[in-house]
Amino acid sequence: MEIGVATNMTAYMQYEKLEKLGVTSYINRLVTSEDAGADIATVPYSVIVQMTRHPLTDQGIAKLQEDYRKVFGE
Protein backbone atom coordinates (compact mmCIF):
# COMPACT_ATOMS: atom_id res chain seq x y z
CA MET A 1 0.00 0.00 0.00
CA GLU A 2 1.58 3.24 -1.05
CA ILE A 3 -1.02 5.61 0.39
CA GLY A 4 -3.03 5.26 3.59
CA VAL A 5 -6.19 7.31 4.11
CA ALA A 6 -7.52 8.38 7.52
CA THR A 7 -9.40 11.31 9.02
CA ASN A 8 -7.41 14.10 10.65
CA MET A 9 -8.83 13.00 14.00
CA THR A 10 -7.68 9.43 13.73
CA ALA A 11 -4.60 9.69 11.49
CA TYR A 12 -2.16 9.59 14.39
CA MET A 13 -3.91 6.67 16.11
CA GLN A 14 -4.10 4.74 12.85
CA TYR A 15 -0.41 5.32 12.18
CA GLU A 16 0.44 4.00 15.65
CA LYS A 17 -1.49 0.81 14.87
CA LEU A 18 0.37 0.44 11.58
CA GLU A 19 3.66 0.88 13.45
CA LYS A 20 2.72 -1.91 15.85
CA LEU A 21 1.90 -4.14 12.88
CA GLY A 22 5.28 -3.29 11.36
CA VAL A 23 3.89 -2.14 8.02
CA THR A 24 4.79 1.56 8.05
CA SER A 25 7.76 0.90 5.79
CA TYR A 26 5.24 0.01 3.07
CA ILE A 27 3.46 3.37 3.29
CA ASN A 28 4.98 6.29 1.43
CA ARG A 29 2.38 8.85 2.47
CA LEU A 30 -0.53 9.10 4.86
CA VAL A 31 -3.35 11.20 3.40
CA THR A 32 -6.23 12.40 5.51
CA SER A 33 -9.72 12.19 4.07
CA GLU A 34 -9.84 15.99 4.22
CA ASP A 35 -6.63 16.19 2.14
CA ALA A 36 -8.17 13.79 -0.37
CA GLY A 37 -11.20 16.07 -0.68
CA ALA A 38 -13.70 13.77 0.99
CA ASP A 39 -16.57 15.71 2.54
CA ILE A 40 -18.52 12.70 3.72
CA ALA A 41 -18.01 9.03 4.42
CA THR A 42 -20.42 6.13 4.60
CA VAL A 43 -19.65 4.30 7.81
CA PRO A 44 -21.81 1.86 9.75
CA TYR A 45 -23.17 3.37 12.95
CA SER A 46 -21.52 0.63 15.00
CA VAL A 47 -18.12 1.71 13.66
CA ILE A 48 -18.75 5.34 14.66
CA VAL A 49 -19.72 4.20 18.17
CA GLN A 50 -16.58 2.06 18.39
CA MET A 51 -14.42 5.00 17.29
CA THR A 52 -15.64 7.03 20.25
CA ARG A 53 -15.03 4.23 22.77
CA HIS A 54 -11.49 4.77 23.93
CA PRO A 55 -10.19 5.10 27.49
CA LEU A 56 -8.61 8.49 26.78
CA THR A 57 -11.84 9.80 25.25
CA ASP A 58 -13.75 8.69 28.33
CA GLN A 59 -11.17 10.35 30.60
CA GLY A 60 -11.33 13.57 28.57
CA ILE A 61 -15.13 13.70 28.74
CA ALA A 62 -15.08 13.06 32.50
CA LYS A 63 -12.49 15.83 32.99
CA LEU A 64 -14.50 18.25 30.84
CA GLN A 65 -17.66 17.52 32.85
CA GLU A 66 -15.76 17.94 36.12
CA ASP A 67 -14.32 21.29 35.01
CA TYR A 68 -17.74 22.46 33.81
CA ARG A 69 -19.29 21.66 37.22
CA LYS A 70 -16.49 23.57 38.99
CA VAL A 71 -17.12 26.68 36.90
CA PHE A 72 -20.90 26.59 36.43
CA GLY A 73 -22.09 24.34 39.24
CA GLU A 74 -24.53 21.38 38.98
pLDDT at 20: 84
- What is the percent of the chain with per-residue pLDDT over 70, rounded to a whole number? 70
pLDDT digits (tens, 9 = 90+) for 38-67: 666 777 888 877 877 888 888 988 999 999
pLDDT at 73: 84
DSSP per-residue string spanning 3-55: EEEE-HHHHHHHHHHHHHHT-GGG-SEEEETTTTT-------HHHHHHHH--H
What predicted TM-score, i.e. pTM, was given to this entire model? 0.36
Cβ atoms of residues 28 and 3 within 8 Å: yes
